[in-house]
Structure 1
Amino acid sequence: MTFELLSCFCAVAKTLSFNRAAADLSVSVSVVSGNVKRLEQELAVPLFHRTTRHVALTHEGAALLPYARDAIAARKAMKDAAVRLKTGSAGPLLIADWPVLQPLVEPVLHRFLRNFPEIEPRSVSMLPREMPDAVREGRIDIGLTVRPLVPRGGGTDSDGAVLSTPLFTVPLDKLLIPRGHRLAGRAAITVRDIADEQLLVPNPEFHPDVHADMVDFFVREGIAQRYQHWDVGSQFELVTLVAHGRGIALICDGLHFDERDPVQLLGVSGPVPELEVVVMSSTRPRPVVWNVTRYLESHAGSALRTPEPSPNAHSR
């Protein structure tokens, strides 16, 4: 049962004329008549009453017509969906992110997905060191992290399968401290003001690059900083550690906290460590992955300058 047979059946049922149906379909009357006959033979029921002056649906034809129309509509919907998949405006999208970056990247993802409601996003939290293999093995489509284990400034990994695209560089120019901390009343501070403090930095086991970058920064500044490792969890975990006196933390401006949290933010002037936020993807991505990667590359930096309140950009 082909699309052509069903199309001829529906066209004749609509016009109740083989001549007008042929004109609508841009085929000959003999083609329409032959296709209707073949469909009747295949279904083993008559579809039309025919006379030299009159065409009418039989009871069987009237009963089967909705199925034919649904089949034609389903074929069109399938072709339209295939076009959207081919152009990257629809389809599944599996995103892995480092939880600390969610407040920075989710607003721009939300803007992208709002324009493409047929993209089906799903998110998982993943350690940065796990993302290259996950992309390479097809377990995720994109990974959002900071300076992964590929060349600084972007590039591909050693086997050419994973591409790292820089999105923006974010300065760690805010200091997260517990309320009542000795620095709480200061109008402005620099990193030298925290030299005697215990600074929370990512555990090198989980993200060696970020840890190394931060340590190198303080070495270059000639500051003998004390460190406390934390296991690179969520923003909530970082707030909890600071509130309980485990240390203080340098963070970026995109992170926000509830006024009820027992912590506060101070601005840090002068030189500060910086993080390069990147998106990782396959060097041979599906169209939807290519689209979201290019959108992030073009718009992620502006999300920091023009934030908007939004729900989670992808479901959990």
Structure 2
Amino acid sequence: MNAGEQRSDGIDARLLRYFLTLAEELHFTRAAQRLFVSQPALSNQIQRLERAVGSPLFARSTRGVTLTPAGQAFLPYARQALTAIRAALAAAAPSPVLRVDVLDAELALPRAVVKRLRTDHQGMRLAVTAEGSVSQRRRLLAGDLDAGFCGLGAAGDEKLTMVPLCHEPVDLIVPTGHPLAAVPDAAVADVDSAPGAVGLADAAGETFYLPHDTLAPEWRDFVLGECRRAGFEPARYPVTTASAASALDLVAEGDCVTLSLRSTPLPEGTTRLRLSPNLAYPWAMVWHRDRGDDPAITWLREAAAAVGPSYA
């Protein structure tokens, strides 16, 4: 065994990830926060790596942190090594698990993407949750989630990658027998062929259901923004629920109206009204930028790209 092989014995994937994170941030506090470790723990691990390499990888001074020539030389190989380790683990795993949050279990588009993924990659195991976009962001940053579906307006982070999927039509949902449903051709059985519609401003005097602020604030902001563009501030129903289905049940009971994605099934006692001008909600997919090269994320993106256009 040569000297290089002996030194490499103490280097593992975690040390490489710590090195690469610090090389990107060039700041121990920010890198430690991103890694969810204490600053002393990060410093100790970097020192451990430097001992294994045999050279300082970072220069520390009052002006900050910089890569040494050895660190600059080590950087591309560290990236390649970590990518190779992840690819090897993915290839060797008999049943890889992809952790995906679908925002709300009642929403059709993410369910269709997950179904397509299962069809295209039958050996893959999925751990699917529906905890909302606020939880998604926290779990992605903590490494407890691989990808999520949300609105394009969801809170981002420089460590996360968010890409648009499609714009899905949005309709106004009212209780069956509501006066707005009496507008000629406004009640939509076949939305694409119905000649009539109502304006969102026609619902200015209604009480709107909006989700809890910690569940899907991007949807709340979308609804509020469209109402304001229509010239009114909506009265907000004082109760929030955990899903789109339970919110629609409130509409069926006559307590409120709401906006809904066109693909969301409606319960008995509600009527879907097409809006003019049309409204469309921007769907997005989000994952941690460090996971972008993972095959499972690529497969999920391919499934989303195949399914998304049918909801636009």
TM-score, normalised relative to structure 2: 0.60
1:165–1:297 contact (8 Å) kept in structure 2:
no
Instruction: Give 1:263's aligned amino acid.
Output: T
2:150–2:284 contact (8 Å) kept in structure 1:
yes
Instruction: Give 1:302's aligned amino acid.
Output: P
Alignment of 1:1-316 (within 5 A): 85-86=90-91, 90-99=95-104, 102-146=107-151, 147-150=153-156, 157-158=157-158, 160=159, 162-172=160-170, 174-186=171-183, 187=185, 188-228=197-237, 231=240, 233-257=242-266, 261-272=268-279, 274-285=280-291, 287-304=294-311
Q: Identify if the C-alpha distance between structure 1 residues 303 and 229 changes in structure 2 by more than 3 Å, giving closer, same or farther.
A: farther
CA offsets per residue over residues 274-299 of structure 1, 9 Å max, x none? 43211111212263432234214522
1:104–1:303 contact (8 Å) kept in structure 2:
no
2:154–2:217 contact (8 Å) kept in structure 1:
no
Distance, in Å, in 2 between the alignment partners of 1:87 and 1:302 is 33
Secondary structure at 1:145 match in 2: strand
2:105–2:111 contact (8 Å) kept in structure 1:
no
1:281–1:289 contact (8 Å) kept in structure 2:
no
Distance, in Å, in 2 between the alignment partners of 1:233 and 1:171 is 22
Give, in angstroms, the shift of residue 116 of structure 1: 0.8
Q: Identity percentage over the alignment? A: 17
Give, in angstroms, the shift of residue 91 of structure 1: 0.8
Secondary structure at 1:169 match in 2: strand
Give, in angstroms, the shift of residue 118 of structure 1: 0.4
Give, in angstroms, the shift of residue 88 of structure 1: 9.6
Distance, in Å, in 2 between the alignment partners of 1:202 and 1:266 is 20
1:100–1:233 contact (8 Å) kept in structure 2:
no
RMSD of Structure 2 on Structure 1 (CA): 2.7
Distance, in Å, in 2 between the alignment partners of 1:89 and 1:109 is 19
CA offsets per residue over residues 117-172 of structure 1, 9 Å max, x none? 1000121121211111201212111111113202xxxxxx13x2x21121112232
Q: Identify if the C-alpha distance between structure 1 residues 282 and 138 changes in structure 2 by more than 3 Å, giving closer, same or farther.
A: same
Instruction: Give 2:296's aligned amino acid.
Output: V
Give, in angstroms, the shift of residue 212 of structure 1: 2.5
Secondary structure at 1:257 match in 2: coil
Q: Identify if the C-alpha distance between structure 1 residues 191 and 91 changes in structure 2 by more than 3 Å, giving closer, same or farther.
A: same
239-248 or 207-216: bigger deviation: 207-216
Secondary structure at 1:131 match in 2: helix
TM-score, normalised relative to structure 1: 0.60
Q: Identify if the C-alpha distance between structure 1 residues 112 and 234 changes in structure 2 by more than 3 Å, giving closer, same or farther.
A: same
Distance, in Å, in 2 between the alignment partners of 1:89 and 1:230 is 45
Q: After the TM superposition, which segments of 4 or more aligned residues of structure 1 sit over 4 Å from their partners?
A: 87-90
Secondary structure at 1:201 match in 2: coil
Give, in angstroms, the shift of residue 83 of structure 1: 7.1
Q: In the comparison of the two structures, how many residue pairs are matched?
A: 212
Distance, in Å, in 2 between the alignment partners of 1:267 and 1:182 is 14
Distance, in Å, in 2 between the alignment partners of 1:236 and 1:215 is 20
Distance, in Å, in 1 between the alignment partners of 2:180 and 2:229 is 24
Secondary structure at 1:183 match in 2: helix
Listed as ranges, the gaps of 5+ residues in structure 2 are: 1-86, 186-196
140-149 or 283-292: bigger deviation: 283-292
